[in-house]
Structure 1
Amino acid sequence: MTDTTSSCPYCPLSTAAGEPPGGWVYRDDLWLVHHGPAESSRPGTMKIVSTRHYTDFAEMTLEETVSFGSLLRALDAAMRAGTDAERVHLVSTRDRVQHFHAWLYPRPASHALRGTDFLNAPQRSEAADVDLAAEAVRRHLSGPAPVSG
């Protein structure tokens, strides 16, 4: 079920031979999950990308809708267990790249900022921290519950 668009920078991800920094945290027929870029993400930041080309929640199939909720639940638990996150913030604007994707930002309890102040603050990490955080989340991820139809 992979619809792609040649001009979309995210469409080739599902068939790419290489792995993103930190490796794939989760990958199935519907979703790709990997750590965000070190230069703009704190350790543990995850990016979820649909394998099928569409932009909005309203364009999801029922299977995608159900599996996205299950994936969010599993990633939230794994990110809190694998990082020092007290909260995991979900952001999905799809304004720059019009292919469905969402970001999960772990906010530690010790961070002085909360909510949108935290999200608006500069974020970055070192490449080694990306690898460690991705592995920690992967280790705690039991995977989303199977979708039954």
Structure 2
Amino acid sequence: MRKITLSNGKIVEVECLSCAITSGLVKPDGGVIVETQYFHAHQDVAYPIEGLVILASKRHITCLDELTDEEKNDYINILSRIRKAQREALGIEYVYYFYNEDTTHHFHTWLVPRYEWMYEFGRSVESVRPVLLHARNKMNDIYNRKKVIQAIDTLTDELN
């Protein structure tokens, strides 16, 4: 078991945080955006960027090639539905998609919106890490959290 401090300061003791979130044992701030048979979408509000979505597999795997055919179909369908909702409901023109396999978490993809204020950190994929750190360290206030929760609610309504 590992002790993990969540973005809201609550400490949880779990084997795997992703298992705990996708199974409903741990509720992410803002709740579940959308859920399918194989995937779970939420936002890590520690990064207060409106419309940022994490799409995680419910099954404990780490690599894209470990997905079954059914999971692959579900993945691309829910990923494209989330992206469409980001565009139509939140007006997000561009996103960066990230997934990495050297993680202790489940297979998951981050959909990181690209906003005008982010260009001060650059215009390439290399700017995303500084943007995320800036959001976590400089934008973590009541005002931005409220905007993030509103965006989560908007996406949840759009996708369910």
- Same fold, judged at TM 0.5 (above): yes
Using the alignment, how far apart are the partners of 1:115 and 1:82 within structure 2? Answer: 25
Distance across 2 between alignment mates of 1:129 and 1:25: 15
Matched, 1:121 2:130: yes
Which residue number in structure 1 is paired with residue 19 of structure 2?
A: 11
Deviation digits for residues 7-61 of structure 1 (CA, Å, limit 9, x no counterpart) = 32211223224531111100122111001223x3411110111111111011000
One-letter amino acid of the structure 2 residue matched with residue 42 of structure 1: I
Q: Alpha-carbon deviation of 1:127? A: 1.9
Tell me the C-alpha RMSD between the 2 structures.
2.2
Does the CA-based 8 Å contact 2:62-2:101 persist in structure 1?
yes
1:19 partner letter:
K
Q: How many residues align?
A: 136
Task: Pick from 24, 28, 35 the counterpart of residue 36 of structure 2.
Answer: 28
Q: Could you say which structure has the higher helix fraction? A: 2
Instruction: Please list every run of 5 or more consecutive structure 2 residues that lacks an aligned counterpart in the other structure.
Output: 1-13
Among 56, 59, 62, the residue aligned to 1:52: 59
* Structure 1 unmatched runs, 5+: 1-5, 143-149
CA contact (8 A) 1:79 1:88 kept: no
**RCO higher in structure (CA 8 A, sep ≥6):** 1
Q: Is the 8 A contact 2:17 2:105 kept in 1?
A: no
SS in 2 for 1:105: strand
Instruction: Return 70-79 or 109-118, whichever deviates more.
Output: 109-118
Post-superposition CA distance 1:105-132 (Å, at most 9, x none)? 1113575243314413333253212211
Decide which moves more: 27-36 or 59-68. 27-36
TM-score normalised by L of structure 2: 0.74
Q: Moved runs in structure 1, 4+ residues, more than 6 A?
A: none
Between the aligned partners of 1:28 and 1:70, the Cα distance in structure 2 is 10
Find 2:156's aligned residue among 132, 135, 138.
138
Query: Cα–Cα, structure 1 residues 131 and 41, in superposed 2: closer, same or farther, change >3 Å?
Result: closer
